[in-house]
A and B are shown apart, each in its own frame.
Chain A
Amino acid sequence: MTTAEYLSAVLKSQALAEDSVELKTLRAKRKDVEELLKKAFKDCSPTIRYGGSYAKGTLIRESYDLDLTCYFACDDDGAGDNLRDIYNNVAFALSHSYFVERKTSALRLKGKLDTDVAKVDFHIDVVPGRFTDATRGDVYIHQEGADKDRMKTNLDVHLSHIKGSGVIDAIKLVKLWKVRHWFNLKTFVLELLVIEALSEKKTKSLADQLQGFWQAVVDARGNIAVEDPANPSGNDLSKMNDAVTQLLLSNAASQALVSTEADGWHDIFGPVEETSDSAKAAAVAAPSNVGTSRTKPWVPGR
């Protein structure tokens, strides 16, 4: 198998079909959340749109999410007087049906405690915000616990920047590399870095693109700085990732370059996985290793 064939097989193993359980569940949950928000804020008519990897076309089986924006009109204070109030009120409305994990600007939805989906990650981030003006383009979103308590952004700009980048496959594989190494790194910043690093390499092979990205990370020497296309002068993305994460990323990128320059692509992404339901069914039905029986799970208490 050539490197190109291998990377293509890895990408294929990460694809999520439209009728897959994951995407069916995501779409069903999206519908529930949208209805909940519209009901909770029926006097405000929030604009609910879709973002995240689902909308950008960058989702992979090991890392996918749907951003649901919940934006209110610039002159409507029905959902809250200020951005913090809007953020808290949306969180409160969602908490009736979900376990809400508060992130800097988004509200991650998980299964409610004491249900049979307790703490299951639904891969949905709700992002409350308010349009800056009547054109309904730019939005202000709240930033909990950040240096600046609000950020200006624009969903359409982000979506078109990513979708029009011409390096979607490279973005997907870099995301996979990020997930496998458990880097605590903002995916959005990583996507922008991939696009910037590969701006002159769109026609190169996928292998060359990945090596180009890793070289860019190494060259940044732990100081990744990319511009937010939605607000280039206003949003300082360099502060989104701490120094330790950047250092880990730089070291991992360096190792990835060494491995792949010696043709060790399997060291990066491992074997292509047999993830079909039939393969899983065969695996779980098979007996355990000869001479030992499988351990069985348990739980203490009543």
Chain B
Amino acid sequence: MSNNHVTLEDGAGGRESALLVQTIFRSRFGGTEDGFADAARKPFPGGQLLMSTDGFVVQPAEFPGGNIGKLAVCGTVNDIAVSGGRPLYLAAGYIIEEGFPLQALERIAEAMATTAHECGVSIVTGDTKVVPRGQADGVYIHTTGVGTPVCEPLPPGPVALENGDVLIASGNLGEHGLALLAFREGLLDPDSNLQSDCAPVHRATAQLQITLGTDLRLMRDPTRGGLATTLWEIVHGRDFNFLIEEADLPYNQNFYSLAAMLGLDLLHLPSEGRFIAIVKNTRVDDAVQCLRQSGCPDARVIGRISKERPGRTVLITSIGGQRFLEPLAQEQLPRIC
């Protein structure tokens, strides 16, 4: 926030975003005591309801690996999934700029229908508005989803974390963010083999929950701000930290090289088809095997919980040194040389 207006940094997903949400919204709304979890869990007649909502403003609306529609379904499905839920129903709202091509809108809607069907969810209600040319950027989509717990009790969250708990990543990091950025800058073709990783993760998360019970402490999906920001959200202000092994971080080699050339860091770029899980250390083999058998062949251990540097994430580098891994403070700007 700057003087009296909202800035782009407020939407980047790191500290500034958290501050905006806290000071403007959370301070006024009741019912958000869950904190910055990916979905709300509320009592509901007959059990618990999980509910999540998300806005999608991606530019451009169509990109290698998908479009804003597929993203809108996967994003909300995944938020419910990593919170321990089985997603059931989605609502979808559209704000469309006058002049947006109908064929593109059809492709977007088709992608939503296909993805919803693959996920086993139904889009049951929605709303559509059209605004005059220039008052929206193509199309914005907002989805809200509801689901029920896969099993109970649900993953307990950061309060249950213990020294020595293990951090697992379900697959390669940062691909959606880099593919989008590179495509937008004209560095990739629409049919490039460097694509967004946009995909639903709910089957893998459900299997993990069923297999581990409460030995699964929590799950998160590293979207805006990337893994570094997600880790910060978990440890910030608490008495434990993450120790991450840089040599174990999963990357696609082509993405890694592209990021290095552009001076960008995959750890600060969003994934839209990956999640992290923190599990009790005695169950780590069960967890990794479960994930690899549930559509996450690249799942692996990337670090653990420690108490040495409370509130931070420490990266053990490929040559055995140490440095901090910080959340995204501002949008990444490519370097000079």
Q: Do A and B bind each other?
A: no
Chain B residues with CB under 8 Å of chain A are none
